[in-house]
Amino acid sequence: MAVKELEDVENIRSLLENAGYTYRENGSDDTQVLFVKGSEELRTHYLHITKLGSSVW
């Protein structure tokens, strides 16, 4: 998923958490932010959020 600026993730964080996603601080770096859904044993979703046009986009 892409956003205009990574700081924009804070505007949608509560929506993602209400939908069952967990913010993973150890999965984030300066190019992306990571949210996951499901337990460690039964992970169902990985949502990587990056800046539109970034090197990982």
Determine, yes or no, domain membership for 32.
yes
Please tell me the distance from the alpha carbon of residue 20 to that of residue 22, in angstroms, as a whole number. 7
Query: 20 in a domain, yes or no?
Result: yes
**Does the residue 56 lie in any domain?**
no
Q: What's the pTM?
A: 0.88
Asked if residue 57 belongs to a domain, the reply is no
- Structurally, the chain folds into a number of domains equal to 1
Nearest to 27 by CA among 55, 49, 2: 49
- Name the residue range of residue 27's domain: 2-51
- Render pLDDT for 39-57 as a digit per residue (tens, 0 to 9): 999 999 999 999 999 998 9
Q: Are 32 and 57 in contact (CB under 8 A)?
A: no
Angstrom distance (rounded) from CA 38 to CA 55: 28
pLDDT digits (tens, 9 = 90+) for 10-34: 999 999 999 999 999 888 888 999 9
